[in-house]
Amino acid sequence: MYTLPNKLKVFALVFMVLGAVGIVAGFLSAPKTTEDVAAMMADAHHGDGHGDAEAHHGDGHGEVEATHHSGESHHGTESHAASEDHHGEEMTHEHAQADPHQEHLEHVMHQLQNRPWSALYIASFFFFMIALGALAFYAIQYAAQAGWSPILFRVMEGITGYLPVASVLIFVLLLASAFHFNHIFHWMDPELVNPESAHYDKIIAGKSGYLNVPFFLIRALFFLLGWNAYRWLSRKYSLADDTAEDQSFFKKNFKLSAGFLVFFIVTESIMSWDWIMSFDPHWFSTLFGWYVFAGMMVCAITVIALVTIYLKSQGYLEEVNDSHIHDLAKFMFGFSIFWTYLWFSQFMLIWYADIPEEVTYFVTRIEQYKLPFFGMIAMNFVFPLLLLMNSDYKRVNWFVVMAGIVILAGHYLDVFNMVMPATVGESWTIGVPELGALMFFFGLFIYVVFTTLTKAPLVPKNNPFIKESKHFHY
């Protein structure tokens, strides 16, 4: 049995406390008035050199910002006016034209008010998708009746132990958006679908049969309940299998996993549309579900490898050998290449077609998010390619750990790039709110995962493939 070391517990709790302080600081530092924004822009002009908001102020604040909540520069003044109404500002079109400077200040204020919420959402979703990806990978191993991986099943179950906690947190954030505690989902503004409103958006109104708050929350609840139901049942059968006198529980888990994968592949795609792509309600990509899936899987497998290596370094999982680590590293490499293929396919097709309402998604990110955008590509493709291509390196634990850290950081930036341009626009940075949210959820993830690992033996006892897994060498 694994016991949670006090040092690891303190480590996790410290991160949670520091992260919580950063989250609170992020909300408290958000501007309340346009005067606060003007002061912050003045400070940025003299200080940090980031100056995104000031740059836009200087180069044409009278025009509508290209990074309005849904990233729709091509919709011009109509889209901007919708954003203003979304935040409850009573400003007429005539006034907006008469006072473009004030209009710009209010727009930046809304972006900065969205920033702590966006940072919280990004970190929450990032660790949620690790747990969900581990659950999918676990189901794949069961359904495929893989012989190499059963010795790692309890590690996977430990990581999926975070899923119930993550599900509650992500659903609370979705509820906060639905009840207008924040405005990161632009399409939730009721004025945009009201034909009598000056801020009526024909495109969003056309999608309102699907993109509406009640249906959105019902779908989210359905997905979360389905994923967690499989996790609970599978875990129950796995533990029961340890003391069973036959293979009945294994067979139940096999059938359950095969059925779950059908459910998962459909619901994961819809989830990606709802929880990520709808931040840009004027834009869509038919590859998006697969793209999110690829990122989810590479992060999950990377964390499985890192947790396994850590446990082995502490004297547990003695039967795990370099062949197991090699296989995990192969999956890390393979899914990194798969992610790159999907990213490039999506980018190339949209860029080559050059349709304004589609290409603006990438224009915004390339022009205003150069460092995270191109850094993400390097960290998620170039580094895994160089570090993990050599077969021998995949057997070296410290090398896999180094590659894993780079991959996880790169995919955090990937989620950052998917969310921030549509919610915060040009007013982005990576500061206290972002680091605070990341630290809090990292600490929570560590605490929950390793606590779950203490609840059962780390090696399954009655799995029909456990002997094959223990003696897995090639």
Asked if the model's pLDDT at residue 424 lies above 80, the reply is: yes
Q: Which two tokens stand for residue 401?
A: 């750990």
pLDDT band at 47 (very low <50, low <70, confident <90, very high): low
Q: Which two tokens stand for residue 228?
A: 């967690």
Cα angle 233, 273, 210; round to 5: 100
Taking CA atoms, 273 is separated from 14, 299, 382, in Å, by 35, 19, 27
- Note the pLDDT of residue 398: 93
Asked if the model's pLDDT at residue 80 lies above 60, the reply is: no
**Buried residues in 360-398 as b, exposed as e (16+ CB within 10 A):** bbbbbbeebbeebbeebbebbbebbeebbeeeebbbbbe
- Distance between CA atoms of 120 and 138, rounded to whole angstroms? 27
- Note the pLDDT of residue 311: 96
- For 156-215, the pLDDT digits (tens) are 999 999 999 999 999 999 999 999 999 999 999 999 998 988 889 999 999 999 999 999
DSSP assignment letter at 283? -
Chain position carrying tokens 């109104």: 205
Per domain, the residue ranges of the chain are 6-470
39: Cα within 13 Å, side-chain hemisphere: 8
Helices H / strands E in the chain, number of each = 19, 0
Comparing 205 with 38, the larger pLDDT belongs to 205
Asked if the model's pLDDT at residue 59 lies above 50, the reply is: no
- For 126-152, the pLDDT digits (tens) are 999 999 999 999 999 999 999 999 999
DSSP assignment letter at 65? P
In this prediction, residues 112-116 reach a mean pLDDT of 90
Asked if the model's pLDDT at residue 458 lies above 80, the reply is: yes
